[in-house]
Structure 1
Amino acid sequence: MTHAFEISSRPNLPGLDWDRLDTYLNNQGRSLDANVAPHRFSAGYGNMNFLLRIDGENVVLRRPPLGPVPPGANDMAREFRILSHLHSALPLVPNAKLFCADPAIIGAPFFVMEYRPGLVISDEITSDTIEKWADPGPIGRHLGDRIVGVLADLHAVDVDACGLGDLGRPDGFIARTLRGWAKRAHLSWVDTTPPDLIALLDWLDKHQTTQTNRSTLIHNDFKLDNIILDPDTLAPRTLIDWDMGTLGDPLYDLAVLLSYWTEPTDPEAMHQLRQMPTAGHGFPTREQVADQYAKISGRDLQGFTFYRVLAALRLAVVFQQLYRRYETGGTDDPKYANFDTLALGLLRFGMDVANGHHF
C-alpha cells in the first residue's frame, strides 16, 4: 500500500505545534510554507512522521510518539546522526537536514529529512500492486530477494569510513541486549509473570551465545515496511526508521526480521501480527531467507536459534509495552486493546522456536 495520510484543514495536528515550529524554523533561517497543510503518515505504532514543505521542498518531520517512551527507544538524536553519516555510504538512506533537541518546540526532539515518495507494503499487498506485477515469478519471491539483498548491503557498510565506527557499544552486544529485554519484560508485565516468559528467559540464559560475528551497523527493526519501494518495479528506494540503529551482531538483525516473518502454518499469534504479507504470495520461508542471507553475506548461522528466540522475546515485549501504553492512557487507539493477548501468544511461539517446532 502507499503511504496513507491523515489530512487536516487546520495546521496543528497532535504532536505538531505549527506556530512554534514556524518560529523555530524562521530562527534557523528556514521557511515553513504555511499554505501547505501538514499531512501525518498514519502507518505504524511508533514514531510520528509529518509531510511538510520547507524552503520550497517536501520534507518529512519525524518525532517520537505521544505518551511515555521506553528508555532508549525513539532516539531522534541517534537517528539524525546515523542518517547524516550513512546517506553517502548507503544511498538508500535518506539525507537528514535539521535536528532540534529542544522538546519545547513541538513537545519532543525532532529532525527533518528528505522525502522520498513510493510504495510501502506492510500487512498486505494490494490488488493494484499485484495487477501491475509483470514478472513471471511470484511477487513474494521477488520481494523476499530484495529484502535479503538490502539487509546484506547494510551489513557490508564500512562504518569507520562513514564516521559511525564509534556508534554504540558493540562489545558484549548480545549479552547486553538479552539483559535489556529481560528487564523490559519484567517492567511490562507488572502484575504477574507469564509462565512462558519465565521459560523463555531460562532457555535464553542457558543457551546464551558468545558473539563471534564481527560487529556491523545494524538497523535493529529491519522489516518490509521500513523499505520504501518503487511502485512500478518494486525496487527499493529508501530504508527508513533508524532510531534504534547501532553497531552489533548482524545475525540479531536477521533474527529480528524473521520474528516478523509469518508462514502459513504458524500459530494464530504470528498471523495476528499483521506486519508483513509473507504467509502468501510466494514469499520464501524463514529458513530459506536465512540460507540466502548466509550465502550472500558469507556468515555462518551456527547457533542461530538463540538469536531467533531472543528476537521473539523482543517482539513479545514490544507488544506488551504497546499494551501498557494503552492501559495507562498513553493512547486510546482500540488496536492496542488486545496486544497483551498477542504478546502472550508471541512468548509461546518463542518457546516453539526454542524447542525446534518452528524455524
Structure 2
Amino acid sequence: MTIIQPDTPTRTRPGEELDRAALQAYLSDQIPALGAITNIAQFPGGYSNLTYLLTTSNREYILRRPPFGAKDIKGGHDMGREYRVLTILQQSGYKPIPEPVVFCDDESILGCSFYIMERVQGVILRAQTAPKLGIPADVMQQLSLALVDSLVDLHAISLHSTDPTRLGLIQLGKPEGYVQRQVAGWHRRYGAAQTDVIPDMDALARYLTDQLPPDNPNPTLLHNDFKYDNVVLNPDNLPDIRAVLDWEMCTVGDPLMDVGTSLSYWAEPTDDPFRKTFNLTWLPGNLTRQAFAERYAERSGRNIDNLLYYYVFGLFKNAVVIQQIYGRYRKGLTQDPRFAGLLAGVQALARAGVQALEAGLI
C-alpha cells in the first residue's frame, strides 16, 4: 500500500491571498504568544470556506475565512458561530475537535470575519486523491464503520446536563420545527441562487414540503456536514479519528437530518461520476448506504423507517449549495475555474433524488 502522508497545504490560490502584514499586526496585538508569521499556505480541498495554514515562530495554526464573494449569501459562512461551537464543545468535554484560539469580527483586517484554531496533524482523505492511495478494502471497511460510530457518539451527547459548561449546547438551535425550517430555508436559498430551470429540483422541493415528518421528540446535536474529508485521521491507524472539522452548520435538531446529509455524500460504485467526486465511499470495502443506515440504527437505537425523506433532503440541500457556488461564478464574484461546470452537479443530485423516490431506496 502507498504510504499515506498527512494533509498538506499548497501555495495560496491567486486572488485568495491573505494580508500578512495586517494579520500579523492584529495577532501581535491580541495574542503575542502566537509569535511571528513565517509562512502562509492554503489547503486546496473544498468549495466553501477557505482554510489556511499559518506557520509561526512557535507552532502551526489553522485560519478559516469565508470564500470571496460570499457576503450575498445570508446566514452562510458564519465564522463567529463556528468558533462558538468549537468553544462550547471544548467546554462540554467533546474531545475530537481542534482547540479554538481566537475569533476576529473586525473586517478591516482581512475584509471578512475569521477565526484561528490549533492544527491537528493527520490525514484527510479527499475524493480526488484517495483512489491513488491503494487503501485495502478491509481498512476502508473499518474506516467507514468508525465514521458511522463517530456520528452516533456525537448524537449521544446529552443536551440537558446540569453541568454549566454544557448549557450552551441546547442554545445552538431550536429543535421545534427544525425540519420544516430547513426545508423552507433551503428552498428559499435555491430560489435566490437559481440560474436555470431544473424540473427535478422543483419536484424535490414539492415532495419535501408535502411530506414533512413530525418533530423528533429526542433532538440531538447535529454536525450537518459529516463526511470523510471533514475528519482528521491518524496516519498510522486510519480508523482512528483525531478530530472532526467544519462545525459551521452545527445545530440542534432531528438526528436523522444529520444521517441523511451524510448519506447524500455517500456515493456507491454504480452512482454517476459526479457523485463520486464528493467522497471516497465508492472505493472497495466501504459500507453501502443501506449498511451505513443499519449500522447507525443498531448503534444508536433509533428508528430509521423514514430515512428516505432525510436522504432526499440531503441531496436537495447539497444541490442548493452547489447552485449557490455556481451562481457566484456566473455573477463573476469568483474566478475559480473549478466552478464553471457545477450546474451539471446540481442536475445530477436532483436526478438522484427523484430516482431514489421512484425506487423507494436510499
Same fold (TM over 0.5): yes
* AA at the equivalent of 1:177: Q
CA shift in 2, pair 1:211/1:98, >3 Å: same
- The equivalences for 1:143-222 within 5 A come to 143-161=143-161, 162=166, 163-190=168-195, 192-222=196-226
Q: Bigger CA drift: 211-220 or 74-83? A: 211-220
**Could you tell me how far 1:356 is from its partner in structure 2?**
2.3
CA distance in 1: counterparts of 2:330 and 2:185, whole angstroms: 22
- Corresponding residue of 2:96: 92
CA distance in 1: counterparts of 2:49 and 2:228, whole angstroms: 17
CA shift in 2, pair 1:316/1:187, >3 Å: same
**Could you tell me how far 1:62 is from its partner in structure 2?**
1.1
Paired residue secondary structure (1:164): helix
- Corresponding residue of 2:297: 294
Contact conserved, 1:262 with 1:278, CA < 8 A, in 2? yes
**Could you tell me how far 1:188 is from its partner in structure 2?**
1.8
- Corresponding residue of 1:49: 51
CA distance in 2: counterparts of 1:118 and 1:199, whole angstroms: 42
1:119 corresponds to which of 118, 123, 126:
123
* AA at the equivalent of 2:52: F
1:22 corresponds to which of 9, 21, 24:
24
Contact conserved, 1:218 with 1:247, CA < 8 A, in 2? yes
2:79 corresponds to which of 76, 91, 112:
76
- Corresponding residue of 1:6: 10
Contact conserved, 1:3 with 1:43, CA < 8 A, in 2? no
Q: How many residues matched?
A: 348
Q: Deviations over 1:199-233 (max 9, x none)?
A: 11121222111122411110111111000100110
CA shift in 2, pair 1:32/1:38, >3 Å: farther
The gaps in structure 2 that reach 5 residues or longer are none
Contact conserved, 1:2 with 1:121, CA < 8 A, in 2? no
Contact conserved, 2:159 with 2:170, CA < 8 A, in 1? yes
* AA at the equivalent of 1:193: V
Q: Deviations over 1:313-352 (max 9, x none)?
A: 1011111111111111222222211111110111111111
Q: Deviations over 1:9-35 (max 9, x none)?
A: xxx983411111111112214255446
Q: Bigger CA drift: 46-55 or 198-207? A: 46-55
Percent sequence identity is 34
* AA at the equivalent of 1:72: G
Contact conserved, 2:36 with 2:56, CA < 8 A, in 1? no
2:318 corresponds to which of 315, 319, 333:
315
**Could you tell me how far 1:261 is from its partner in structure 2?**
0.6
Give the aligned CA root-mean-square deviation in angstroms.
2.0
**Could you tell me how far 1:103 is from its partner in structure 2?**
1.1
Contact conserved, 1:203 with 1:354, CA < 8 A, in 2? no
Paired residue secondary structure (2:328): helix
**Could you tell me how far 1:94 is from its partner in structure 2?**
1.2
CA distance in 1: counterparts of 2:160 and 2:41, whole angstroms: 37
Q: Deviations over 1:93-125 (max 9, x none)?
A: 111111111111111111111110110112142
* AA at the equivalent of 1:236: I
1:248 corresponds to which of 247, 253, 259:
253
TM-score norm. by structure 1 comes to 0.91
* AA at the equivalent of 2:294: D
CA distance in 2: counterparts of 1:140 and 1:128, whole angstroms: 11
Report the structure, 1 or 2, having the larger helix content.
2
Is 1:102 the counterpart of 2:130? The answer is no
Paired residue secondary structure (1:5): coil
CA distance in 1: counterparts of 2:142 and 2:209, whole angstroms: 37
Paired residue secondary structure (1:256): helix
CA distance in 2: counterparts of 1:246 and 1:149, whole angstroms: 19
- Corresponding residue of 1:304: 307
1:355 corresponds to which of 353, 358, 361:
358
Q: Deviations over 1:262-292 (max 9, x none)?
A: 1112234423xx1211112211100100010
* AA at the equivalent of 1:143: L
CA distance in 2: counterparts of 1:29 and 1:90, whole angstroms: 25
- The equivalences for 1:260-339 within 5 A come to 260-271=265-276, 274-339=277-342
